[in-house]
Structure 1
């Protein structure tokens, strides 16, 4: 049976015009752990074209999930943050969220509640992260009881799965739902003065397209995006741990709470990641705006190419922006429009759902909150890539600059 690609079920808040190619449900895949080479090649091509693929009613062992994820980058090996996740850096905001499957360290158990006798883990205490522990402000207890929530994940919020130091960002993430608790929908609020809010399923994973994020920018910001690179902080998840997040989940408040570099675990200049703001899709050739706003520390801006129109251009002679508040405000200005409700796909999880997403083409966020007694079990796998993302070509820069 050939695979069939059908549109995802969108919420009423979404604008279908932004989802013509973004996101597909794949029908006809009954055993994703045992694809033929031809089937995998088709699936891989579809992923790069559509960014998010949903496969329903799957059965997948941790070994099969690792093998499927690795097939997208055969030279990759370790989990995206390293097989020891955060090493000795117990201050990392990642540390509480991940429980490693002992026999397959590239696969993590994530979720909520107490899980017993699971894939070699006698007992695992899982905690679905809540915005209340990391946002500078929070939804009140009364409003939370009424079903209001925010974008959140301790990795934090809108993000790319990536260590952002030493290891290259994974190409693909696979997320497999084993146990999904039922519950009423919640209402995610942005609380940024815009009045933006929309209804989401309990415990949704929300996705936005990096391609849309770039495409909707005005010309002067497209020009800046294709000419810029982000310098990430060393050990960024330790660096940012004392800081607090913005109410939209799209970055960190600039209150000067980040750890000084000399208080971080040992780091090397050569392992700091400097990555393009826009990443080129290997199949479509399109540019995706791919910045993890929480880990960004500095911006490098290339001068306009010779002969480009300088009228209205930002930093036409290039720049090295080192003031953290300026960097964050500029990135926020470019990224915030793309997380508007009409551009967000909040996935409504069912047991045995497998979501495969192009980690170099989307940003995603966990949303919502569970009670302590609600058990949620997911397996997550992404692998540090064998190479860094490719940025825009000279032709791209000339086109948009």
Structure 2
């Protein structure tokens, strides 16, 4: 049977014109037993469309690991390092992940207590909640009415020592059903988004770049970001913005001399824009929570200086200024009409191009609501590629 694709079911809130290329449901093929030819087709589809959905899939942890690894055959360890999250108690990721013992590259995530699961006698899972991470929180009264928030917009990546995974696979095993929730931005805009319970939301890094005004496109194509060493430990004492898009600057980050041992050579500096390996398009790929500095190249010779930001280049080290600038560039792309909230069903498998989208978990569950997912991504064998000279010439 030939591989068929269909558009993803968009909610009424989505601007369909912005999702013409984003996301496809794949039919007629079993993702756990792909032939090499089928895999090549799936690989092209993923990089072209950023996210692929397979419905009603039976997938073992071994098959999920093999599928994820096929996108980057020499990659080996889980994206944050095998079992690293368990050892780093101070990391904000620590409560969210449990490792499948026989396939340590696959993590069990979710909510509630799961018994006798893939070699784990008992796993207590905790769905990340904005209440433990944001500076402000939704009131108990509003939460009881189904009001919630984005938790943290991010890329799956250690952002220190290891390279960002190319692909993440998410497989829904136990998916609680419930009333829809209202995700509030609480940033003064009045923006809100109706979402399914426990959704994962995605935005396109390509759209994030394309909707920028010319002066911010010019800035993006000339800029690199520097991440903090051990960024998840560094940010753990701090609080996020109400939109989940970055950190409030309150001076709460862990001082560098209190972080686990780190080396300058392992700190990551990445272009703001990452080049798609199939389409050649540029995706705005910044994890705003972990960034500590921004480097801006000067305008290329012959470029228009009028209205340009930092025409002679810059090195921004003031954390508040860095965050304000990135927020200004990234916030437009999480507008309600640009967000795809996936409505999970049991046995859904979603593959997403981790170097082409940002995503977030959303919502809140009662302690007794059990949700169990398998997640896999692998620290990549190479770093992302940024804009080339032609791209800089075109957009700067």
When the two structures are superposed, what TM-score results if normalisation uses the length of structure 2? 0.99
Instruction: Say whether 1:65 aligns with 2:60.
Output: no
**Counterpart residue number, 2:3:** 3
The residue number in structure 2 matching 1:345 is 340
Determine whether 1:266 maps to 2:261. Answer: yes
Structure-2 separation of matches of 1:383 and 1:82? 8
Deviation at 1:278, TM superposition (A): 0.2
Aligned-pair distance for 1:95? 0.6
Residue 90 (structure 1) shift? 1.0
Q: Tell me if the contact between 2:85 and 2:97 (Cα under 8 Å) persists in the aligned partners.
A: no
Counterparts of 2:259 and 2:159, CA distance in 1: 15
Are 2:129 and 1:130 equivalent residues in the alignment? yes
Q: Which residue of 2 aligns with 1:204?
A: 199
1:276 aligned to 2:271?
A: yes
Check whether the contact 2:204–2:357 (CA below 8 A) recurs between aligned residues: yes
Distance 1:345 1:8 in 2: 9
Residue by residue, what CA displacement relative to the aligned partner does 1:115-154 show, whole Å, maximum 9, x if unpaired? 00000000000011111111100000000000100001xx
Supply the distance in 2 between the matched residues of 1:209 and 1:241 (Cα, whole angstroms): 26
Partner of 1:144: 143
For residues 245-281 of structure 1, what are the alpha-carbon distances to aligned partners after superposition, in whole Å with 9 as ceiling and x for unaligned? 0000000000000011000000000000000000000
1:307-359 Cα distance to aligned partner (Å, 9 max, x none): 11111000011011000000000000000000000000000000000000000
Number of the residue aligned with 2:77? 78
In the alignment, the residues of structure 2 paired with residue 96 and residue 85 of structure 1 have an alpha-carbon distance, to the nearest angstrom, of: 12
Separation (CA, whole Å) in 2 of partners of 1:141 and 1:9? 32
SS for the counterpart of 2:328 is helix
Q: Distance in 1 between matches of 2:253 and 2:100?
A: 31
* Corresponding position of 1:375: 370
TM alignment of 1:43-54, pairs within 5 A:
43-54=42-53
Looking at structure 1, the residues matched to 168 and 295 of structure 2 have their Cα atoms a distance apart, in angstroms, of 28
Q: Give 5+ residue unaligned stretches, structure 2.
A: none
Mapped pair 1:396 → 2:395: no
SS at 2:84 equivalent: coil
Match of 1:167 in 2: 162
Which deviates the most, 84-93 or 213-222?
Answer: 84-93
3-state DSSP of counterpart to 1:262: helix
Could you report, residue by residue, the CA deviation over 1:196-244 in whole angstroms, capped at 9, with x for unpaired residues? 0011000000000000000000000000001000000000000000000
Q: Residue deviations 1:159-186, cap 9 Å, x none? A: 0000000000000000000010111000
Partner in structure 2 of residue 26 of structure 1? 26
Task: Give the match for residue 234 of structure 1.
Answer: 229
Q: CA deviation at 1:87?
A: 5.9
TM-score, normalised by the number of residues in structure 1: 0.98
CA RMSD of aligned residues (A): 0.6
Q: Give the Cα–Cα distance (whole angstroms) in 1 for the partners of residues 377 and 77 of structure 2.
A: 8
Aligned to 1:246, what secondary structure does the other structure show?
A: coil
- Distance, in Å, in 2 between the alignment partners of 1:85 and 1:59 is 28
Helix, strand or coil: the match of 1:138? Answer: coil
1:294 to 289, 292, 295: 289
Match of residue 35 from structure 1: 34
Which residue is 1:386 aligned to?
381
User: 1:191 matched to which residue of 2?
Assistant: 186
SS for the counterpart of 1:86 is: helix
Q: Alignment partner of 2:67: what SS?
A: helix
Q: How many angstroms apart in 2 are the aligned matches of 1:319 and 1:86?
A: 35
1:89 Cα deviation (Å)? 2.4
Equivalent-residue separation in structure 2 for 1:379 and 1:303 (angstroms) = 44
After superposition, the Cα gap between the structure-2 partners of 1:87 and 1:114, relative to the gap in structure 1 and judged at 3 Å, is closer
Deviations 1:81-112 (A, max 9, x none): 00023364211101111000000000000000
Q: What is the rounded CA distance, in whole Å, between the counterparts of 1:203 and 1:2 in structure 2?
A: 33
Q: Size of the alignment, in residue pairs?
A: 396
Moved over 3 A (4+): none
Deviation digits for residues 273-312 of structure 1 (CA, Å, limit 9, x no counterpart): 0000000000000000000000000001011111111110
SS at match of 2:91: coil
Alpha-carbon distance between aligned partners in 2 of 1:85 and 1:37, rounded to the nearest angstrom: 32
Aligned mates of 1:378, 1:87 — CA distance in 2: 18
Equivalent position of 2:242 in the other structure: 247
